[in-house]
Structure 1
Amino acid sequence: MAVLTDEEVNSAVTKLDDWEHAGGALRRSVKFPSFLGGIDAVRRVAEHAEHRDHHPDIDIRWRTVTFALVTHSEGGITDKDVQMAAEINEILGEV
């Protein structure tokens, strides 16, 4: 799987609500109304990621959860990350 160029990533981000291209990854931070709301969202994303065998880096800071996507085995952002970002948006829309 090919690593996307910065131009390709920046173009993809325009179609991914609330995501940014920062620090060599696709990133999205979400503030939830409660700590447990954030944990529930992480659980939903984690179950989906396990099924897809493509796992985001997840950072939990009280009510703020940050998801970061990069295909470590390829050394950069790939189409797999862009697709997972869109899928995470769908999952978070259900919360």
Structure 2
Amino acid sequence: MSAQDALDRPQIDAELETLPHWCVSQGALRTVLTCPTSAGALELFAAIGNMAQEANHHPDVDWRYDTLFLTLTSHDAGSKVSAKDVALARSISAAADVAGAQARTELLRTVEIALDSDDPEAVSPMWQAALGYKKDADGALVDPFGRGPALWFQKTATPNANSFHLDITVPYARSANTLRAVEDAGASLDHESAPRWVIATDVQGNRLCICTEEGRDA
């Protein structure tokens, strides 16, 4: 498989019409499955592991008591979504239905840390050494095991006084609820770049961005 085997966004959207458990976010297929019991979640985890072994295609799975957080991409297709991911997602959904698991896509959150800098190359090495992260082609620092949030550098000639902010990616279908909750909590919202992202600023001037997959390449 090569990068040419990656699905484009219209192809992914077409597949998602028959994959109600799943969303596309941050260039991956993602879902959250909550089982009736912790034991049920472990059994589903084991079933997913068996399917992954048979398919020779392994998702990232994070088990939290009765809930599984899953992410699917194809490393051999440039870490993008491929037909192999769609096929495995379909099998996982079938197993989830048998296990009585409930899809909880409203729980999906992907957190990245952004740092404003007029010279990212001057500061990146220190952060990489401290975090033990690897450097992506775009200059972002990422946890090789996917445990911690990525750190990316927003190059700007005029760094903000509060140079750090969080990028929080949520499914587009759920973003209105998230933005409403953030605004109700006292934030002012800048919708200029919506729906890709909305800048939220708290009463002390600290910023975060609520991001979605809309308007982005898969």
**TM-score, length of structure 1 as denominator length:** 0.92
Q: In structure 2, what is the equivalent of residue 63 of structure 1? A: 66
| Count of residue correspondences | 95
Residue 24 in 1 paired to residue 31 in 2? Answer: no
Ranges in structure 1 where 5+ consecutive residues have no aligned partner: none
Q: Which amino acid is the alignment partner of residue 21 of structure 1?
A: V
Give identity over the alignment, percent.
27
Q: What RMSD over aligned residues (CA atoms) do the two structures have, in Å?
A: 1.1
Higher helix share: 1
Q: Which has the larger radius of gyration?
A: 2
Task: Write the distance in 1 (CA, Å) between the matches of 2:62 and 2:26.
Answer: 14
Q: Which residue of 2 aligns with 1:51?
A: 54
Name the CA distance, whole Å, in 1 between partners of 2:89 and 2:51: 12
CA deviations on 1:62-92 (whole Å, 9 max, x unpaired) are 2110121100121110011011111111112
Moved over 6 A (4+): none
**What CA deviation, in whole Å up to 9, does each residue of 1:20-45 have, x standing for no partner?**
00111111111112211111100011
Give how far 1:55 is off.
Answer: 0.8
In structure 2, which of residues 67, 83, 88 is the aligned counterpart of residue 84 of structure 1?
Answer: 88
The corresponding residue for 1:42 is 45
Q: Is the 2:33–2:67 contact (alpha carbons within 8 Å) kept by the matching residues of 1?
A: yes
Q: Using CA pairs under 8 Å that are at least 6 residues apart, name the structure with larger relative contact order, 1 or 2.
A: 1
Partner residue of 2:116? none
